[in-house]
Amino acid sequence: MSTDVTDDPKQHPTGNAVKDPDHWVTGDEPMTGAQASYLQTLSEEAGEEFDPELSKADASKAIDALQDRTGRGD
């Protein structure tokens, strides 16, 4: 048995929370309401068109890109 706390998900419940959206099991599902709301805000700030038909994974990628463009990702 390992004594490394990084092996214990109870010690780090979000330790695997950062995953590549391309590997999400539910990535092809429609984006969530929270994603849509935030993406719409970022799109408006960046002067980009908001696409309400994006998947969860594509919305996540778009959010990352627009955060960089708008400075909200800092």
Write down the domain spans for the chain: 27-74
**Other Cβ atoms closer than 10 A to 57:** 19
Model pLDDT, residue 13: 56
pLDDT tens-place values along the chain, 74 residues long: 444 445 555 555 555 567 888 888 777 899 999 999 999 999 999 999 999 999 999 999 999 999 999 998 76
The overall pTM is greater than 0.75: no
- Listed in sequence order, the residues at least 6 apart from 26 whose beta carbon sits closer than 8 Å to its beta carbon are 56
Tokens of 27: 């990535």
